């Protein structure tokens, strides 16, 4: 039953988003591997190739995870621009988590290639999963905190830009982007904290979602 429901959500999402549904896959599964391949052909397994993988995967994969959820939830805005997604009689968290799982599964295969270049490809994959989950949770949280799907991406995008482009000496620990290769210690400490923050935002978003349902 869950399998049928999962397929139904994916099919409905493809139909509603149209060509936009495939943009993350074109970027993550085609463009980035192509850039990595051309860099590898030029530099071999040099640090430059590793830098390209770490940079581009962190630029795009987490952002598109949140962007995908954003597009999926935009269907709850009616033709006149009125936001009605929060008065539906079903919590959105199940749908959000299913789409996140599908997104990760569909964008995992490039790491089978990257493992020949990265020293800790498994840890890098876990980092991307946590970062993507963080962006998904942020969109879900801000959608119900601000009671506006249209504004949910604004703080998410601002956070993403700050994390990537703030190159100061004292970067906040909650910035997701890190140009250094991940280690077990970094995964446990830095990304363990981000995972905790993501779970907290998801939970608060769920509570806000349920309150709005009961209110209406």
| pTM for this predicted structure | 0.87
The predicted pLDDT at position 46 comes to 75
Place 116 in a pLDDT band, splitting at 50, 70 and 90.
confident
Structural domains of the chain, count: 1
Say if residue 167's pLDDT is above 80. Answer: no
- Residue 10 domain boundaries: 2-215
The predicted pLDDT at position 124 comes to 94
Residue 131: closest CA among 91, 166, 106, 100: 100
The predicted pLDDT at position 1 comes to 45
Q: What is the pLDDT of residues 65-90, one digit of tens each?
A: 999 888 887 766 554 445 555 555 46
Q: What is the pLDDT of residues 120-165, one digit of tens each?
A: 899 999 999 999 999 999 999 998 888 877 788 899 999 999 999 9
Cα of 7 vs its chain's centroid, Å: 20
Say if residue 216's pLDDT is above 70. Answer: no
The predicted pLDDT at position 188 comes to 93
Say if residue 184's pLDDT is above 90. Answer: yes
Looking at per-residue pLDDT, the higher value among 208 and 59 belongs to: 59
Q: What is the pLDDT of residues 81-114, one digit of tens each?
A: 455 555 554 667 888 898 899 999 999 999 988 8
Q: What is the pLDDT of residues 11-32, one digit of tens each?
A: 666 666 677 878 889 999 999 9
HSE-CB of 110 using CA atoms within 13 angstroms:
24
- Give how far Cα 10 sits from Cα of 3, 6, 89, 95, 112, Å: 11, 6, 20, 9, 24
> Which residues are 77's β-sheet partners?
83
CA angle 78, 80, 84 (to 5 degrees): 35
Using DSSP's 3-state secondary structure scheme, residue 77 falls into strand
The predicted pLDDT at position 81 comes to 47
């Amino acid at each position: 039953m869950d399998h049928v429901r999962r397929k139904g959500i994916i099919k409905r999402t493809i139909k509603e988003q149209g060509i936009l549904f495939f943009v993350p896959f074109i970027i993550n599964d085609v463009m980035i591997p192509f850039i990595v391949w051309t860099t590898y052909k030029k530099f071999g397994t040099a640090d430059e190739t590793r830098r390209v993988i770490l940079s581009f995967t962190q630029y795009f994969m987490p952002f598109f995870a949140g962007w995908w959820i954003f597009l999926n939830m935009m269907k709850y805005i009616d033709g006149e621009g009125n936001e009605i997604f929060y008065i539906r009689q079903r919590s959105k968290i199940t749908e959000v988590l299913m789409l996140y799982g599908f997104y990760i599964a569909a964008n995992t295969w490039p790491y089978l290639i990257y493992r020949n270049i990265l020293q800790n490809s498994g840890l890098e994959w876990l980092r991307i999963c946590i970062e993507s989950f963080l962006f998904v949770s942020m969109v879900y949280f801000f959608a119900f905190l601000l009671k506006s799907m249209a504004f949910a991406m604004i703080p998410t995008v601002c956070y993403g830009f700050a994390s990537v482009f703030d190159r100061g000496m004292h970067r906040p620990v909650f910035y997701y982007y890190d140009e250094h290769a991940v280690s077990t210690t970094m995964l446990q400490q830095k990304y363990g904290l981000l995972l905790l923050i993501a779970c907290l935002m998801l939970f608060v978003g769920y509570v806000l979602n349920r309150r709005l349902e009961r209110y209406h």
